[in-house]
Amino acid sequence: MKSAAEILGEGIVRVEGRLVDASNATLFAALELDGQSVRAIYKPISGERPLWDFQSGTLAFRERAAYLISEAMGCDLVPLTILRDGPFGEGSFQLWIDIDESVDLALYFRETHPNLRKVALFDAVINNTDRKIGHLLPTESGHLYVCDHGVTFHEEDKLRTVLWQWSGQPLNKDELEMLKSLHVKISEFTIEELSGLLNEVEIKALLMRVDRLISEATFPEPNPDWPAVPWPPF
């Protein structure tokens, strides 16, 4: 029995469609290996739209980096995400998540659910500049995944999210311990792959954000010099 990671990393890729609402090329793919298959979202680097504030050709790397940070924090928020070659060149492949269709996201994102709080802290760490409502992926089991992390890890403070419920509120003991552990993992290069995904300035800024969260021990508040909520919010 092959694992999802093995199939995602080694399987034959068949592109079956495209998510037309996405600003960059976002393809729905099936991957098969030894008669077993998984579904995934494939974002080829060749289909990335140039941005004024992010280096071209880096969004797929940031998707992978967000997955690594989610794992290092023990959050299990980002679905398995890898970098590999595909029909349209190298890009990120992220395991497809079936969401609970009964959840009304327009109401859900306003709640103070612990899973959403975890996302808010994660976004503060990775400096997510585009956390939209539609990026929340609640499953029928009650777990919450999140997607779309191409515009993250900028060295400037660009946090932009729909999850401001905890703005200025104190972090709890477990959250602070999580951040301290993450700081050690980054500073001691335990997450070895990170240096190949982000540049030196971005990694230094990542450490500074974690430091600030620990020292202030509160959730961040909106930056007055930057739009607090992405548009459109969904």
Establish if 228 belongs to a structural domain. Answer: no
233 occurs within a structural domain: no
Per-residue pLDDT for 118 more than 90?
Answer: yes
**How confident is the prediction for the chain on average, in pLDDT?**
96
CATH code, domain with 202: 1.10.510
11 contacts 32 by C-beta, under 8 angstroms = yes
Task: Give a yes or no: residue 221 inside a domain.
Answer: no
What is the band of 22 on the pLDDT scale with cuts at 50, 70, 90? confident
Q: Residue written as tokens 């029928």?
A: 140
Determine, yes or no, domain membership for 211. yes
- What is the Cα–Cα distance from 182 to 188, expressed in whole angstroms? 10
Any domain includes 134: yes
**With contact defined as beta carbons under 8 Å apart, do 38 and 95 qualify?**
yes
Position 145 scores a pLDDT of: 98
Q: Note whether residue 232 is domain-resident.
A: no
Least confident window among 46-55, 59-68, 163-172? 46-55
Q: How confident is the model at residue 217, as a pLDDT?
A: 98
In a domain, 226, yes or no: no
Q: Give the pLDDT confidence score for residue 141 in this predicted structure.
A: 97
pLDDT at site 190: 86
The Cβ of residue 184 has, within 10 Å, a number of other Cβ atoms equal to 12
pLDDT of 130 > 90? The answer is yes
Asked, as a colleague might, if the bond just before 138 is cis with ω within 30 of 0, I would say no
**Is residue 40 within 8 Å of residue 10, measured between CB atoms?**
no
pLDDT for the residue numbered 6: 97
Domain that holds residue 14: 4-96+104-216
Domain assignment of residue 230, yes or no: no
Instruction: Please state, in angstroms and rounded to a whole number, the distance separating the CA atoms of residues 44 and 49.
Output: 11
Query: How many domains does the chain divide into?
Result: 1
* DSSP-based three-state secondary structure for 144: strand
pLDDT tens readout for residues 97-113: 999 999 999 999 999 99
> Could you tell me the pLDDT band of residue 135, with boundaries at 50, 70 and 90?
very high
